[in-house]
Amino acid sequence: MFLSKKEERMLKGEDGPAAQWAMSFLVEYGEALGAEKLIDISSVAVGWCPPFQEILPPDVFSDLLTRGFKVPAYSLLIGVERKHWMKLGIPKEEVEKQRFMDERAKDIGLALTSTCAPYTVGYMPTKGSHCSVVEASLIPFVNSVLGARTLRESSQSVIASGIVGKSPNAGFHLDENRGANILVKVKTRMLRSIDFDLLGYHVGELVGVDVPAFIGIRKATLENLKYLCASFSASGGIGLFHIIGVTPEAPTLKAAFRGNKPKEAIDVTGKELEETKDKLCTGGSDKVDLVVFGCPHYTIEEVGKVARLLRGRRIHDNVTLWIFTPHSTRTIAELTGLESLITSAGGMLLSDTCPWVLRYWVEGSGLPEKVRVVATDSTKMAHYLPALYGVDVWYGSTESCVKAALTGVWES
């Protein structure tokens, strides 16, 4: 791999232990990817929770706290719920560790977005810009919806990129790797987020890590695309996709394929989506113990939808309702009265965490006691919960989940 004189100096340790560690990591990483050089990046999205310190050698972490990241940095999920940590059973010592990390973030200028969906609260790398992000659902959103460019990163590689402001020039950073190679013909109306959620899960299973281009989708909201990206990462490993006439690099089918010929064409009808929905429901009792929203984190629009469905009503005594969102979105919900509607109904609006990461901080499963059946409007949640926690899952629309929260029973 070719290195500039400045990069060689960093690799030799002349710019401190953090830069030396980062360059050493990126050179080895880049060579594994076949990269000929490193490129400058504009930003990173990193995890910023106590285990972060365990990833880095002590001298590297200390040097990072002194120098900070080279480029603007935004934090992902932290696991510790700052407001309701006692109710969730998070040990106080873990909260104190996170408070320490929060203070260090202020010192180095890290934006504490603390969400798996930072694009909903300000992180919006522009089309064509190079960046480095981790989190399975964020990677396809950045590459596809925003048209920015990132590799499928790990926690370590993103940290290294943030320290020196560089990434290996490989993968989706390169024009030749951004063309579609699978054609997906959508032959059903795509009106709701659940439609996009099921579409992504079905196609993700079939496509794996290839690059699909979708025709037949006329428009999509931020929430629709958020669900599509999340479901891709649950059933497969799609890091880039195109929707003709919707995503920025696909004004036409020809532009999306960049000279490639489709190696496969997939037809998707309402039948496939309904079958996918049925497959995600594991069965078991129709009595619901827990209803979970916010995977990925809910936007303010989604929080408002649930709040309005709950207005003037009361969640069943045997049901717990959790809604996960970034803390900045929760602040808006508090100021606009939406959080009050949710809490008055007996639900909880939680921020900066989710069931996936709660299990690392809470003794046992991280779920409320005696939870056996969970209802959710997220294919990603429905995919992981049975394996992680041994619970049964009902998957359906937001409206169906709210109804289950109110009645305590799932209606198929």
Based on the domain organization, do 322 and 293 belong to the same domain?
yes
Return the ∠ at Cα 380 (arms to 148 and 345), rounded to 5°.
110
Segment 133-187, tens digit of pLDDT: 999 999 999 999 999 999 999 999 999 999 999 999 999 999 999 999 999 999 9
At residue 113 the predicted structure's pLDDT band, cuts being 50, 70 and 90, is very high
Nearest to 306 by CA among 288, 316, 294: 294
Based on the domain organization, do 225 and 372 belong to the same domain?
no
329's enclosing H/E stretch is helix 327-335
Residue 412 is predicted with a pLDDT of 79
Q: Is 188 inside a domain boundary? A: yes
At residue 79 the predicted structure's pLDDT band, cuts being 50, 70 and 90, is confident
Based on the domain organization, do 291 and 162 belong to the same domain?
no
Q: Is 257 inside a domain boundary? A: yes
Nearest to 357 by CA among 44, 52, 43, 45: 52
Domain boundary among 111, 144, 174: 174
Based on the domain organization, do 167 and 191 belong to the same domain?
no
At residue 364 the predicted structure's pLDDT band, cuts being 50, 70 and 90, is low
Residue 370 is predicted with a pLDDT of 87
Give me 347's structure tokens: 């639900």
Please say if the pLDDT value at position 351 is more than 90. yes
> What total number of domains does the chain contain?
3
Segment 376-391, tens digit of pLDDT: 999 999 999 998 889 9
Based on the domain organization, do 333 and 389 belong to the same domain?
yes
Residue 52 is predicted with a pLDDT of 79
Q: Is 300 inside a domain boundary? A: yes
Give me 287's structure tokens: 């009595």
Residue 127 is predicted with a pLDDT of 98
Q: Which domain holds residue 165?
A: 5-174
Q: Is 48 inside a domain boundary? A: yes
The sheet with strand 264-268 has its strands ordered as 242-243, 212-215, 182-186, 264-268
Based on the domain organization, do 156 and 60 belong to the same domain?
yes
**Structure letter (DSSP) for residue 149:** B
Please say if the pLDDT value at position 336 is more than 70. yes
Q: Is 412 inside a domain boundary? A: no
In angstroms, the CA 345 to CA 172 distance is 45
Please say if the pLDDT value at position 215 is more than 80. yes
In angstroms, the CA 187 to CA 71 distance is 43
Segment 219-231, tens digit of pLDDT: 999 999 999 999 9
Based on the domain organization, do 152 and 208 belong to the same domain?
no
Q: What share of the chain in percent tops pLDDT 70?
A: 99
Segment 126-138, tens digit of pLDDT: 999 999 999 999 9
Residue 402 is predicted with a pLDDT of 98
Residue 360 is predicted with a pLDDT of 80
Based on the domain organization, do 157 and 9 belong to the same domain?
yes
In angstroms, the CA 20 to CA 37 distance is 17
Based on the domain organization, do 61 and 190 belong to the same domain?
no
Domain boundary among 127, 155, 174: 174
65, 67, 83 from 62: Cα distances, Å:
5, 9, 29
Please say if the pLDDT value at position 365 is more than 70. no
Q: Is 19 inside a domain boundary? A: yes
Domain boundary among 156, 174, 192: 174
Give just the sign of the alpha carbon dihedral 309, 388, 240, 157: positive
Please say if the pLDDT value at position 361 is more than 80. no
Segment 250-290, tens digit of pLDDT: 999 999 999 999 999 999 999 999 999 999 999 789 999 99
Based on the domain organization, do 184 and 271 belong to the same domain?
yes
Angle between helices 58-67 and 92-108 (to 10 degrees): 50
Based on the domain organization, do 226 and 86 belong to the same domain?
no
Residue 149 is predicted with a pLDDT of 98
Based on the domain organization, do 98 and 190 belong to the same domain?
no
Considering the entire predicted model, what is its pTM?
A: 0.96
Q: Is 189 inside a domain boundary? A: yes
By the 8 A CB rule, do 346 and 141 touch? no
Q: Is 232 inside a domain boundary? A: yes
Please say if the pLDDT value at position 317 is more than 80. yes
Q: Can you give the CATH number for the domain in which 381 is found?
A: 3.30.499.10
| Average of per-residue pLDDT values in the chain | 95
Residues 356-373, mean pLDDT to the nearest whole number: 81
Q: What share of the chain in percent tops pLDDT 90?
A: 88
Give strand pairing partners of 394.
375
Residue 411 is predicted with a pLDDT of 93
